[in-house]
Amino acid sequence: MPSLGHHTRFAPSPTGRLHLGHALAALVAWERSRGGGQFLLRIEDLDEGRSRVEYELGIAEDLRWLGLDWPQPSMRQSQRGLAYADALRQLADQGLVYPCFCTRSEIANEVARSAQAPHGPEGLLYPGTCLALPEKERRGRLERGDAHALRLDMKAALKLVAGALCWKDELRGIQVASPAAFGDVVLARKDALASYHLAVVVDDASQGVTLVTRGEDLFEATHVHRLLQELLGLPVPDYEHHRLICDEQGRRLAKRDESRSLEQLRREGWSPQQVREALMPI
Ligand code: GLU
């Protein structure tokens, strides 16, 4: 039996219309909030280039059609710059943040040159080029205003952690986080206030989320999130990583699968009840 009465959130990016996979994510969050909890909506619009207001409006329309409601106004990540800056400062004060001036292709070339070309759960592992920059060069480039991301010094961060980092996963049981495999993850991007990892952790805490429900494609990310919670002194929610909805070829539904958008299904005459039934068990 799933546990109920939680503060949960549905956290879509407004980069397309919602499809059946999103409907499952929203309904899982909604169901787990029944019995005295609260369902929240969070708009993850940090990717300015791809986020559109019309998609944001579509998200609200689709969720209301499904019969969900949530407190207004919803949290929007594009308005959370101060909270992210504060978290970055906390990490920097612990000596855990460094600027990275590398472009994607520089990283790929550097990795290709190394014998093992190490990979982590998110693809190529950052080889630490900018961690090794002499302080003078680093300062000079910052003063020049060179574009840079901010990265977590993973080795230094792990040294600060005493004991195992655990989380309770509703479907997989107690998990022990092993974030080392991710290497020096990005905390803030050249063109965004915060990376997905940082923003999600800060926002879940700030919204008082007690159960994070999301697709199992994000299971691995929880290793990093658990570490960031520890470094930032944030409460640790429980997690439920639910199944993903796939098409006939077994591929995960994506925003480009417009035929499966809730808007399209509605036009074809589907009722919210039919959507629910198609997604059982929720
Ligand atoms: N914004 C993410 C997505 O649309 C979800 C993030 C999360 O639930 O942690 O896939």
Q: In this predicted model, what pLDDT tens digit does every residue of 135-168 receive, in sequence order? A: 999 999 999 999 999 999 999 999 999 999 999 9
Q: Which of 106, 125, 234 is nearest to 185 (CA)?
A: 125
Is the pLDDT at 54 greater than 80? The verdict is yes
Taken in order of first residue, the domains within the chain and their CATH numbers are 1-79+246-282 (3.40.50.620), 81-203 (3.90.800.10)
pLDDT at 248: 82
Q: How far is the centre of ligand 1, averaged over its atoms, from the C-alpha of 133 (Å)?
A: 33
Instruction: Find the DSSP H helices in the chain.
Output: 20-33, 53-65, 81-93, 104-113, 135-144, 154-160, 196-206, 221-232, 262-267, 272-278
Sign for the CA dihedral angle at 76, 81, 87, 92 comes to: positive
By most ligand atoms within 8 Å of CB, the mutation choice from 44, 213, 217 for ligand 1 is: 44
Q: Let me know if 155 is a catalytic residue.
A: no
Q: Is the CB of 18 under 6 A from ligand 1?
A: no
By C-alpha distance, which of 18, 26, 14 is closest to 213? 26
What share of the chain has pLDDT > 90, as a percent?
Answer: 84
115 has pLDDT over 80? no
Q: What is the mean pLDDT of the chain?
A: 95
Residue 258 has pLDDT above 90, yes or no: no
Q: What is the pTM of this model?
A: 0.95
Query: Confidence band (pLDDT; 50, 70, 90) for 253?
Result: confident
Query: Which residue owns the Cα nearest ligand 1 atom 2?
Result: 12
Query: pLDDT tens digits, residue range 59-80?
Result: 999 999 999 999 999 999 999 9
Tell me the CA distances in angstroms from 40 to 76, 141, 184, 201, one per residue in order: 12, 41, 31, 15
